[in-house]
Structure 1
């Protein structure tokens, strides 16, 4: 027999399991060499801050 408590526990577990996945996969450091410093000079042509990320356009 399925009780209301079982239904609440099921939905709580389902929400918890599905809401964690996008947070886990959103950011990765694999495309960057964090041990290397890089200096770039140029003119900033565009600056956008669109939550939650920032964008920078430049002429090099």
Structure 2
């Protein structure tokens, strides 16, 4: 059984949604560059002042 860890970057402020969305692009680039698997990434807007980007 392999263990998966979810790494979370949180962003706060009026630009948090766009920042999290943009950060996901860099996470995907990192996964490709490092040949990592699985390649699960995403971002979630939790409210207008708080968003997260994540990688599993």
TM-score by length of structure 2 reads 0.34
Structure with the bigger percentage of strand: 2
**Larger RCO, structure (CA 8 Å, separation 6 or more):** 2
TM-score by length of structure 1 reads 0.32
Larger radius of gyration: 1
